[in-house]
């Protein structure tokens, strides 16, 4: 089941979005547990040909406790990028050995916390980081399990702001230097280096750049073994894309599985995967209410109560999210769909044909389950939207609305003698 119309009303699984709006107000994120689990199972099924693997959900895509808990029960571990995500993954019951720490700017505290938690691997972004990690491990009388993240110098063919594998990007060690860096790091007393990691970008639909990246990693593994290194693990990152526009395809996850199986057949390593968007994006929508329909020079403005503070992807990446009425009348209109924030970029859709909207109507933005709620902000002193999980006939608030004052524990300097005190 999914987001679908029943008796003219949009439902998540068996629950109408009308009912959810009534319960929690708008804007609100709504997730379908069934769609999340379907995607998680599909990803695993597609990789059936890979004998040894670990599936790690990229927590950054959606760190909601209930979402992580469902994925933990499906056997997913976590790809994390901060101490906060480590805490979220552990709290959701993901075992430490199924957690991998990535991230280009890990702090000493985060590295130490990862060691103390006993996580499966720390993916090193550069040599200095490896030296620090080694020192931290030696001080604890242990060796840190680590992979070296390699930048294969490949354009993933996706939006520039979510590309990570080109040679001018900040991520990983350039392929040309990887062997030498690996050699030096492997001599450090506190590291148990056991392989390599790669991630070239996100929202990838065309599998060719991924295949090229993986082939380069395969060649590197051969070269490393030739130099006597024991390579037991290779982390192939995330990046599989989904359809944001009606009529476009999702990345073909089964073709991906076959490609990976073919390319890595002779590697003899455990493969790690870090999907985020593919698992969570389609399982979530952002529910909103139309505040005003205002005449514009060319098209009316449909002003909704959700904004770039709830879903920043359109403002940040010109991303497209389908917009649909909860109770479509069958009539259509051309409009700009905009949020209330005082920024010209607070625009969800320009000159788009949409379901006809009048004031007070409910609508959704599709494909908002990944990089949606988690990227929200309290700009303009907006609240953080609540999140609701639906499973079959049941629905529950999994994250309540948060007012900005609750996040900013503000105080006045004690020398502000004349200010009124709350």
Partners of 113 in beta bridges? none
Distance (Å, whole) CA 311 – CA 316: 9
Which 3 state secondary structure label does DSSP give 391?
Answer: strand
| SS3 category, 371 | coil
> Judged by CB under 6 A, does residue 209 bind ligand LLP?
no
Interface with ligand LLP, residue 282, by CB under 6 A: no
Mention every residue, 6+ apart, whose C-beta is less than 8 A from residue 366.
Answer: 3, 244, 282, 285, 321, 322, 323, 324
The verdict on whether residue 274 carries a ligand-binding annotation is yes
CB of 365 to ligand LLP, least distance (A): 13
Identify the residue among 16, 26, 62, 102 touching ligand LLP (CB under 6 A): 102
Q: In the range 221-250, which residues lie near ligand LLP by CB under 6 A? A: 237-240
* Piece of 70-78, 185-193, 196-204, 337-345 that binds ligand LLP (CB under 6 A): 196-204
Task: For residue 125, say whether it is annotated as part of any ligand binding site.
Answer: no
Q: Measure the CA dihedral 190/196/202/204, to 10°.
A: -170
Does 368 help bind ligand LLP (rule: CB under 6 A)? no
CB 330 within 8 A of CB 292: no
5 is in an annotated binding site: no
- 352 annotated ligand-binding residue: no
Figure out which of the listed residues 11, 44, 313, 391 binds ligand LLP, where binding follows CB under 6 A: 313
Q: Which of 190, 276, 284, 339 binds ligand LLP (CB under 6 A)?
A: 276
Distance of CA 214 to the CA centre of its chain: 21
Beta bridge partners of 31: 284, 389
Ligand-binding site membership of 343 (annotated): yes
Piece of the chain touching ligand LLP by CB under 6 A; list 36-44, 271-279, 360-368, 414-422: 271-279
Closest-CA residue to 31 (of 68, 60, 57, 58):
68
Strand (E) or helix (H) holding 196: strand 191-197
Marked catalytic residue, from 266, 297, 342, 419: 342
Q: With binding defined as CB under 6 A, does residue 101 bind ligand LLP?
A: no
Minimum Å gap between C-beta 140 and ligand LLP is 25
Q: Is 77 a known ligand-binding residue? A: no
Which residues fall within 8 angstroms of residue 181, CB to CB, at 6 or more apart?
126, 127, 130, 148, 173
Instruction: Sketch the per residue contact string, 326 through 365, with ligand LLP: x for CB under 6 A, - otherwise.
Output: ----------------------------------------
Based on CB atoms, which residue is closest to ligand LLP, 289 or 313? 313
Site for ligand LLP in 34-63 (CB under 6 A): 58, 61
Does position 321 interact with ligand LLP (CB under 6 A)? The reply is no
| Residues between 375 and 394 that touch ligand LLP (CB under 6 A) | none
Please indicate if the annotation marks 73 as binding a ligand. no
Q: Which of 82, 203, 212, 367 binds ligand LLP (CB under 6 A)?
A: 203
Is 317 known as a binding-site position? yes
Contact call for residue 199 and ligand LLP (CB under 6 A) = yes
Integer angstrom CA distances of residue 383 from 152, 290, 306, 422: 41, 17, 10, 20
Answer yes or no: 342 catalytic: yes
Q: Which is nearer to ligand LLP, 77 or 328 (CB)?
A: 77
The tokens of 288 are what? 């909103």
Q: Going by C-beta distance under 8 Å and a sequence separation of 6 or more, which residues neighbour residue 83?
A: 107, 109, 110, 113
- Alpha carbon distance 157, 143 (integer Å): 38
| Burial (Cβ within 10 Å: 0-12, 13-18, ≥19) of residue 110 | buried
What is the separation of C-alpha 220 from the centre of its chain, rounded to a whole number of angstroms? 28
* Residue 223, beta-bridge partner list: none
Binding site for pyridoxal 5'-phosphate: what residues are annotated?
Answer: 239, 274-277, 371
* Residues near ligand LLP, by CB under 6 A: 58, 61, 79, 102, 162, 164, 199, 202-203, 237-240, 274-278, 313, 317, 371
Q: Catalytic residue positions?
A: 342
Binding site for substrate: what residues are annotated?
Answer: 277, 313, 317, 343, 371
């Amino acid at each position: 089941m999914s987001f679908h119309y029943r008796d003219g009303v949009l439902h998540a699984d068996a629950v109408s979005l009308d009912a959810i709006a009534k319960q929690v107000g708008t804007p609100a994120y709504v997730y379908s547990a069934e769609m999340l689990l379907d995607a998680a199972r599909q990803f695993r099924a597609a990789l059936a040909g890979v004998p040894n693997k670990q599936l790690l959900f990229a927590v950054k895509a959606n760190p909601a406790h209930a979402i992580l808990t469902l994925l933990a029960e499906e056997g997913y571990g976590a790809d994390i990028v901060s101490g906060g995500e480590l805490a979220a993954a552990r709290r959701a019951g993901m075992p430490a050995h199924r957690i991998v720490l990535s991230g280009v700017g890990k702090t000493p505290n985060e590295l130490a916390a990862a060691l103390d938690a006993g996580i499966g691997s720390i993916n090193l972004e550069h040599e200095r980081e490896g030296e620090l990690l080694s020192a931290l491990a030696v001080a604890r009388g242990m060796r840190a399990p680590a992979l070296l993240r390699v930048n294969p110098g490949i354009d993933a063919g996706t939006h520039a702001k979510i590309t990570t594998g080109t040679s001018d990007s900040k991520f990983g060690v350039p392929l040309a230097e990887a062997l030498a860096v690996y050699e030096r790091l492997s001599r450090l007393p506190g590291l148990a280096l056991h392989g390599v990691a790669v991630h070239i970008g996100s929202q990838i639909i065309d599998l060719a750049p991924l295949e090229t990246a993986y082939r380069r990693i395969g060649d590197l593994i051969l070269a490393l073994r030739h130099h006597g290194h024991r390579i037991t693990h290779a982390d192939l990152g995330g990046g599989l894309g989904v359809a944001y526009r009606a009529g476009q395809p999702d990345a073909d996850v089964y073709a991906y599985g076959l490609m990976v199986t073919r390319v890595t057949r002779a590697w003899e390593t455990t493969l790690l995967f870090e999907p985020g968007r593919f698992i969570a994006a389609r399982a979530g929508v952002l529910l909103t209410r139309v505040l005003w329909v205002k005449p514009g020079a060319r098209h009316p403005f449909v002003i909704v109560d959700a904004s770039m503070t709830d879903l920043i992807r359109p403002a940040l990446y010109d991303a497209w999210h389908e917009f649909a009425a909860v109770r479509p009348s069958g009539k259509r209109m051309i409009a700009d769909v905009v949020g209330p924030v005082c920024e010209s970029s607070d625009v969800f859709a320009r000159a788009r044909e949409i379901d006809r909207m009048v004031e007070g109507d409910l609508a959704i933005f599709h494909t908002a389950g990944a990089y949606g709620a988690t990227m929200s902000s309290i700009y303009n002193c907006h609240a953080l939207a609540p999140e609701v999980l639906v499973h079959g006939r049941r629905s529950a608030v999994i994250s309540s609305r948060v007012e900005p004052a609750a996040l900013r524990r503000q105080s006045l300097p004690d020398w502000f003698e004349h200010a009124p005190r709350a």
